[in-house]
Structure 1
Amino acid sequence: MATYTTKFTNKQVRRCCLTAFFLILLTSCKQKVDNHDLGVFYQPLNQDRDISLKQWKEFGEEISDIGIKNVVIQWTQYGNEAFGESHGWLAQRMEALQDDNIKLWVGLYSDPNYFREIHTNATEQKVYLTEYFNKLHKSYVQWKTWLRIHSNKVQGLYLPLELSDYDFKTPAQREQLANILKQQIKLYDEPLMISLYLSGQLPQS
């Protein structure tokens, strides 16, 4: 992993970790991902609103010049914060990246309490995940028009929940999760991506 630093102003420095990320697609996709594609994750913060569109476009040009072709917007809503929704400052900066021929994976709703809530038994996980996915889909509906208008430079959707064997240790939990995901993918037309983490909790077969 390498670190790339670019200077927006004398005081603002943004760092991007350059790494080849693995795309975990939940829906079938004809698109073949180039093994040499580089991508970065971007976590929207309200402090980034002060970075001008001109500076943002310059940043997009810089990362494009060094071979980055994809940016994963980790979320478009974090708890109650929606960053201006699909007509606000975040959407404008996403469009600026697209103008530099960078394709986006658009993250949806993220729950600030996810890691605390998900680490529980199967029964409570089902209740929590049902509520979580309802909020996630609501954020998708809010962005659906934007996604349609900019579809030529959108790779797909990123579901910002991080699935780990630490939280789904039992066969019952994993089967329940698989069934929930099977139902969820029917609600979206776009390819979906999630993050998986293994901590050695699964039994060896």
Structure 2
Amino acid sequence: MRRGMLAIALWLGALTAQADGTLFYQPQEADTALDQEQWQEVWQRSRDQGVRTLIVQWTRVGEQDFGGSGGWLAAALHAAQDQGLELILGLDHAPDYYQVLPDTQRFDTYWRRQLSLSLAQRRRLLNEWQLDPTAWYLPLELDDWLFREKGTRQELHRQLSGFVARLDRPLHLSAFSGGFLAPSVFADWLASLEALGLKVWWQDGRGTRALPAAVRQAYEDALDCRIGIVHEAFRQTSAEDAPFKADPAPPQVTSTCHPRAVFSLRYRPWAREFFEG
């Protein structure tokens, strides 16, 4: 019995380590408190824990660019590259995204503007920040409420197809389920985006607990194996209409055929001391 429990523990530990091979980092202005030596320690610990790829959720939020090419975020990401981490860099995120997008009549022009802003940020990251990412991440998350209408999904497909053609590196994006599309329809939609040449990630929703466990599992089971799964390493403690707060929690990793990632750096045990407070 003890041998069996030990085997299970080792198996779960191996899965978690494998998942942490790709790790999300969501920059926040409070992170400017870390100095360069602390960033080097964060990245070294991350490497020691098996992290090889860092997905930076965004590098610009509206007018906030975290100091630009001479700021703290650029310096921290250069330090990550120096530690041997591959970077997938997030582009431009719109602060009003969830306020505007439910108005599907404005989707066409609004989405085109957001892609234009992301192209401008891509140029800054290459020419001014002088970073060398392996891919780009589009921080405009997809879900089945904002994209519940077939026509809106078709317009998204058209615009993303053109956007990908203008990039010099692969594009990643992520989606989550709200229960507004059937699991099979949702899965087919993500697969159609993957077919454009994108890398699509599905957020497992275990941290936000927006869906009952059985419903969440149905969405996961319907996904094509090409779709990556982002395992949430937190438990949300804030109410739905309150500013987001969460406590760290081990990611619930299952043995599946999907690529894996973990969200996010600030919740991982080896990094928490740098981000607490």
- Higher Cα Rg: structure 1 or 2? 2
Check 1:39–1:130 CA distance in 2 against 1; reply closer, same or farther (3 A cut). same
Q: Find the aligned partners of 2:19 and 2:32 in 1 and give their Cα distance.
A: 31
Match of 1:160 among 136, 139, 148: 139
| Residue pairs, 1:39-58, within 5 angstroms | 39-58=22-41
Equivalent residues of 2:125, 2:131 under 8 A apart: no
TM-superposed deviation, 1:36: 5.6
Unpaired segments of 5 or more residues in structure 1?
1-19, 21-34
State the secondary structure of the residue aligned to 2:138: strand
Q: Find the aligned partners of 1:139 and 1:43 in 2 and give their Cα distance.
A: 17
**Letter of the 1:161 counterpart:** L
Cα deviation 1:178-201 (Å, max 9, x = unaligned): 001111112211110000122332
Let me know the Cα RMSD of the aligned residues. 2.0
The answer to whether residue 110 in structure 2 is matched with residue 128 in structure 1 is yes
Q: Tell me the number of residue pairs that the alignment of Structure 1 and Structure 2 aligns.
A: 168
* Between structures 1 and 2, the one with greater strand share: 1
Match of 2:98 among 115, 125, 141: 115
TM-score normalised to the size of structure 1? Answer: 0.75
**Identity over aligned residues, as a percent?**
29
More off after superposition, 72-81 vs 136-145: 136-145
Cα deviation 1:109-150 (Å, max 9, x = unaligned): 1111111111122x3111211121121111112112257x54
TM-score normalised to the size of structure 2? Answer: 0.56
State the secondary structure of the residue aligned to 1:67: coil
Cα deviation 1:96-115 (Å, max 9, x = unaligned): 11111111110111111111
Cα deviation 1:44-93 (Å, max 9, x = unaligned): 12222221111110111111101111111111111111112223221111
Match of 1:172 among 146, 151, 157: 151
TM-superposed deviation, 1:37: 5.8
Hey, what does 2:262 align to over in structure 1?
Answer: none
More off after superposition, 44-53 vs 104-113: 44-53
Hey, what does 1:140 align to over in structure 2?
Answer: 122
Q: Find the aligned partners of 2:113 and 2:131 in 1 and give their Cα distance.
A: 28
Hey, what does 2:162 align to over in structure 1?
Answer: 183
Q: Find the aligned partners of 2:178 and 2:35 in 1 and give their Cα distance.
A: 40
Q: Find the aligned partners of 2:122 and 2:56 in 1 and give their Cα distance.
A: 13
Moved runs in structure 1, 4+ residues, more than 3 A? none
